[in-house]
Amino acid sequence: MANEVSIFTQQTEVSRVERKTALGELLKDGIGSSHRRIQANTNGTFKKIVGGEQVGDSIRGEFNAIVVGMLKQVSRIYYKEKFDPKKEATLPNCWSNEGIAPEKNAPDPQASSCATCENNIAGSGETGGKACRFQRRISIMLEGDTSGNIYQFNIPAKSLFGKGSGNVHPFESYVKFLGSNGLTPDLVVTTISFDNDADTMELKFSPLREINDDEYELVLAAQKRPETSMYTKITVAQTDGVTKQPVSNEVIEEDEADEEEEIAEESPKKRTKKKQAEPTVDKEMASVISEWASED
């Protein structure tokens, strides 16, 4: 695996033996006790959260990580009730980890499949997008953390799709960009940063360097741990501590900006009329992100 023209901003000595990781095998087919996550904030900072508490100080602008786990497809999540930060958080009405059909534990499934769901139609959202939002959860390791700790990272819908420039991309385009260079996200250190030119909070992804031999061993070990898979899924009650059931008697559609879809899916015809409804704010992306320190 060699790159005659390097896509990286840094270059390190790595072994020339063929490397195989879980994502490498996964993408061939289609492209713990304390919950840990890295959260992104609208003020341009990131923070590390462990067991519901922030660890360390906030970090601004960007951080480096290795993606060790992700699902093949982008997930979907739908709330009928308008988000109110003053109210207790509720479960989503409906969600799908693989974007194919509602999960069995979704309290208010909207259709038998995502492809035929009316909330998956352009125009079902208040601003012309879809009422059911895209979401991508990935498992990551932080560069320089030799403990091998795994964290969940939620990628906002607006940071998933679109075209990149050079080696800087939204996430789905980034995965394809790496693939075109014979790489997968678990074989590189990725710089995750805020897009300073965007009007709203958007993230961008770029390859810093290939992982070294020590990091490679940490990645292999991390991919065998159960939280690596768990963190990639929308398991709201289990990982987010949310248990309150959603409102299901009145449809309040979600406010969603237009997104460039790069997922092959069979969608119903575009809606010509839609009921008047209050816009809904993206609940998952209202969280803050700050800098981290070493843990006990």
Q: What is the pLDDT of residues 252-289, one digit of tens each?
A: 333 333 333 333 333 344 444 444 444 443 444 334 33
Does 172 fall in a domain? no
Percentage of residues in the chain with pLDDT exceeding 70? 69
End-to-end Cα distance, the chain: 37
Q: Which domain holds residue 51?
A: 32-166+186-262+270-286
- Please state which of the ranges 144-148, 186-190, 239-243 shows the lowest mean pLDDT: 239-243
Does 3 fall in a domain? no
Domain count for the chain: 1
Token readout for 246 is: 């959603």
Whether the per-residue pLDDT at 236 is higher than 60: the answer is no
Give the pLDDT of residue 296. Answer: 39
Residues 103-123, mean pLDDT to the nearest whole number: 91
**62 or 156, which is more confident?**
62
Give the pLDDT of residue 212. Answer: 96
Does 197 fall in a domain? yes
Residues 216-238, mean pLDDT to the nearest whole number: 86
Does 78 fall in a domain? yes
Whether the per-residue pLDDT at 101 is higher than 90: the answer is yes
Give the pLDDT of residue 122. Answer: 87
Does 255 fall in a domain? yes
**What does pTM read for this prediction?**
0.70
Of 138, 105, 141, 149, the residue nearest 231 (C-alpha): 138
Does 291 fall in a domain? no
